[in-house]
Chains A and B, each alone.
Chain A
Amino acid sequence: MTRQADLLVLGAGPAGTEAALAASEAGLDVVLIDEQADAGGQGWRAPLSGLTLPRKGPDAEAGDALRARLAASRVDRRFGRRVWSIGGAFRLDAAGPDGPEAYQAPRLIAATGAHERVVPFPGWTLPGVIGLAGATVLLKAQAVLPGRRVVVAGSGPLLFAVAAGIIAKGGEVAAIVDMDNRLAWAKRLPGLARRFDLLKEGLGWTWSILGARVPFLAGYGVRRATGETELSSVIVGPVDANGAPADGTERSFDCDALAVGHGLVPGGEVPKILRADHFYDRLRGGFIPELDPFGRTTIENLYACGDGTGIRGARPSAAAGRLAGLAAAYDAERLDERTFDALAALSLKALADYRPFADTVAAAMALRPAQVAAITPETIVCRCEDVTRAEIDAAVDAGAGDINQMKHFTRCGMGPCQGRMCGDVAAELVAQRRGVPRDEVGFWTQRVPLRPVPFDTMIGTFDYADIPIPPPAPL
């Protein structure tokens, strides 16, 4: 059975949920689909069912408010669904809790969010090394510490959120290792101060970190992680303002966990599969779709919003989601121009108000070319296929000019994560080796399955009696 609707929204983070609510309020029959068990995305993720925490942070409260509004709405909520196929104008196939499902609507909003970028270093594949974003999921949604003694390293505000989260829950942070030096953060203060509520949250993290007397290494990066079968220590060293290793003394920290991240990459597979036009934007995290101010892509009736269209953060994503939902309702002639203009004006203003803050944070999380240039030859870049930097360089030297050719030469990006973990860094390596801008090496040609699914999940259960056997061809 195919569920027919006026609008499908894929992804139930702040962007997708607000899009679904706006369109539903305007009268569209909306289906909202997500892989997780509830709405909220990664940042505003709902705690596990049955788990209660002693106190809630601002993100938990924002998530609860969003989920309460969704529960009171007419939006058809389909959680725990893994969408694996997408077709034009617009059909989604999903693996649901009871087997295969299909959805069809003339309009689609892609709100698939972002995933983490970790610029590789020796030892990053050791068990015990996890992403900063993964650590936030453990802390916020599961009340679990990433380890008994944790090094928190990388760049951007997630560093401080994770370190403060570990301290608040009674865990031990062995060290905080920030690629930015103090001057870099001082320069960002005017931009951060534009959202005083969020700056205050950040200062609260800093305060708890200072109170815990955690070693704080500003202007340092991870050189390597070591251990036999699991992580046992992290070696860090100074980096310059561009993220390249600098002269100076290395320091080693014994630990059983390393939470590390170097920003976020837009997860924009849906507009790529449907061949919307894209462009490269380093500040926004990678290749992102060309959009009008309301989230319309270059494909008719395909909209996109949220961090999948460029890294901005949860609150701006919510505003962008609202705009996409309104645009879908307007294009479906469920809103007149005056109402649309009036409703959209509020979200357009919110988006503009967030922009200086969002740009400042995005800059702290953007890919640093000098950090990528410093990846050592033997370092694994593609985790799925164990492809090293030296093999990527060799492929380029042998004539692989773009990211897809490099994939064919090396199998980099061909594994089950489908290039999500390595793609951004691998493309940067190809561009640097060739000495050309990132645009010229492109990105993976996106294809289904959108996510890997076992074959039996795709086809569901059947009996041999269900298989039609055609009559034999006449001889």
Chain B
Amino acid sequence: MSLVRVTNGVTRPAAVTFDVDGVSVSAPAGEPLATALAVAGLLTLRDSPRNGAPRGAFCHMGLCQECVVSVDGRTVQACLTPVRDGMTVNLGGTLK
């Protein structure tokens, strides 16, 4: 389903808004994109190259490359990319 931000006693930076395949998504500034997408219910980030099975963020620390997406036309790892206001994210098939 999705990741869940803890609210009790936690303060976060103000939210920014960005575009994911034409849909507007908000998240606290600086949160890793992989987390922001999963909180928004977008767990599937791409399909695997051979059998086309859905894949999503797995290691959350920059190693496994499962969360590779396209941001403003560049291939990046979503778990290492902080969200910024106005960024444009494309999901799906960037590793095909």
Contact = CB atoms under 8 A, between A and B. Distances in A.
Interface of A: 35-36, 42, 48-55, 115-116, 125-131, 133-135, 137-138, 142-148, 169-171, 229-230, 256-257, 383-386, 415-417, 420-421, 451-452, 454, 456
Interface string B29-63: 11110010001000111001111011111111111
Interface residues of B, number: 45
A452 B76 CA distance: 10
Interface of B: 1-6, 8-13, 28-32, 35, 39, 43-45, 48-51, 53-66, 68, 74-75, 80, 95
Contacts of A50: 12-13, 28-30
B6 A169 contact: yes
Contacts of A137: 60-61
A456 B45 CA distance: 23
Contacts of A135: 60
B96 to A, nearest CB: 12
Contact of A48 (B30, B48, B60): B30
A120 B54 CA distance: 16
Contact of A452 (B6, B9, B60, B65): B65
Contact of A386 (B2, B44, B50): B50
Nearest to A168: B6
A125 B39 CA distance: 19
Given A130-B59, A383-B58, A144 B3 contact: yes
B65 A131 contact: no
A230 B54 contact: yes
Given A144-B39, A147-B3, A386-B53, 20 more contacts: A36-B62, A51-B13, A127-B56, A130-B59, A131-B58, A133-B59, A134-B59, A137-B60, A138-B35, A138-B60, A142-B31, A143-B12, A144-B6, A144-B35, A148-B2, A170-B8, A230-B44, A230-B54, A383-B55, A385-B49
A127 B43 contact: yes
B59 A115 contact: yes
Contacts of B51: 386
Contacts of B39: 144
A421 to B, nearest CB: 5
A104 to B, nearest CB: 25
Contacts of A125: 48, 53, 55
Contacts of B74: 454, 456
Contacts of B30: 48-50
A130 B63 CA distance: 13
A169 B3 CA distance: 13
A376 to B, nearest CB: 16
B13 to A, nearest CB: 4
A115 B61 contact: yes
B43 A128 contact: yes
Contacts of A420: 63-64
B8 A134 contact: no
30 contacts: A42-B61, A48-B30, A54-B9, A125-B53, A126-B56, A127-B44, A127-B54, A128-B1, A129-B58, A130-B58, A131-B60, A138-B35, A142-B31, A142-B35, A144-B6, A145-B3, A146-B3, A147-B2, A147-B4, A148-B2, A169-B8, A230-B1, A383-B58, A386-B53, A416-B68, A417-B66, A420-B63, A421-B59, A451-B62, A454-B75
A327 B31 CA distance: 38
Of the listed residues B4, B53, B62, the one surrounded by the most CB atoms of chain A closer than 10 A to its CB is B4
A256 B56 contact: no
A94 B34 CA distance: 23
Contacts of A386: 48-51, 53
Contacts of A48: 12-13, 28, 30-32
A452 B3 CA distance: 27
Contacts of A147: 1-4
Nearest to B48: A386
A53 B8 CA distance: 9
A451 B61 CA distance: 13
Given A127-B54, A130-B58, A421 B63 contact: yes
